[in-house]
Amino acid sequence: MEREARDRVIAFVRNGLHLLNFSIDPMLVGVQPKIQWVGSYTFGNATLRSDADFNLSFPDWNMQVAARRLYYVPQFRAQFCEYLHQFETSYGLRIDVGCVDAETDKYNIHLDCETMLLHRRWNQDVDPYNPGSIAQLVYEPEVRNPVNIDTFDFATEEVPPIHNIHLRLDNYAFRWLPVKSEMKLRPSEWLNDEWADDVQRWKEFYGQRYTGYTKIENKLVEVK
């Protein structure tokens, strides 16, 4: 994602936080959650249909649980959700925001939207999720320093490895555990690509990381 577009997404989420009705719970009044970009864009395996996933991280576990429960109360998030939908209507990118986990920064690949540091992208993928066991709750330190995406130079620096994973919430472990992300052929609802003239530009921009598409039965299908 281009930096201008990236910054526009982050600013849009930040500017809408005041629409969440924190007055419902006295514990959360006046608390400003930390914004973390998570999911496929931070893993490096985003596709044409991927949404932009954000986690609102609160200072401690008790506040996170309270916020997560409130997030399912319509009067708490109704205005905020309507606000987020405006971005999808305008630009075609869905933004999904949740109060997921107070400790995601200890083990999950994420972008801290205040420091613009991408954490844990260097770590190797952990074992695929096994419903018969719970991963050890041991937080390993980062193998390398986090990547500053404001100063990172694609032309000269080593690109962090792509993590082809998806996260599934394990309610027993109270954390997100990874599953393998399988690429599927999913036809687009559009028959014609109005941005076809931009394809060459994006090929040059992304290089080997470019995700292309082809036509199958007169429908655009994303391929790698």
Over residues 78-133, the pLDDT tens digits come to 999 999 999 999 998 999 998 877 778 877 899 999 999 999 888 766 555 444 44
CA end-to-end span of the chain: 17
E strand or H helix at 6: helix 3-16
pTM: 0.78
pLDDT greater than 60 at residue 185: no
- Please identify which residue in the block is written with the tokens 């075609």: 92
Structure-block tokens of residue 80: 């905020």
Q: Is the dihedral of CA 183, 184, 189, 193 positive or negative?
A: positive
Residue 212's pLDDT band (cuts 50, 70, 90): confident
Strands (E), 82-148: 95-98, 110-112, 117-119, 147-148
For residues 75 and 24, the answer to whether their CB atoms sit within 8 Å is yes
Instruction: Give which of 101, 109, 15, 96 is closest to 58, Cα–Cα.
Output: 101
**Residue 183's pLDDT is what?**
59
**Residue 155's pLDDT is what?**
80
For residues 57 and 105, the answer to whether their CB atoms sit within 8 Å is yes
- Please spell the DSSP secondary structure of 68-126, one letter per residue: HHHTTSHHHHHHHHHHHHHHHHHHS--EEEE---TTHHHHS-EEETTTTEEESSSSPPP
CA distance 2 to 6: 6
Least confident range of 140-149, 151-160, 181-190: 181-190
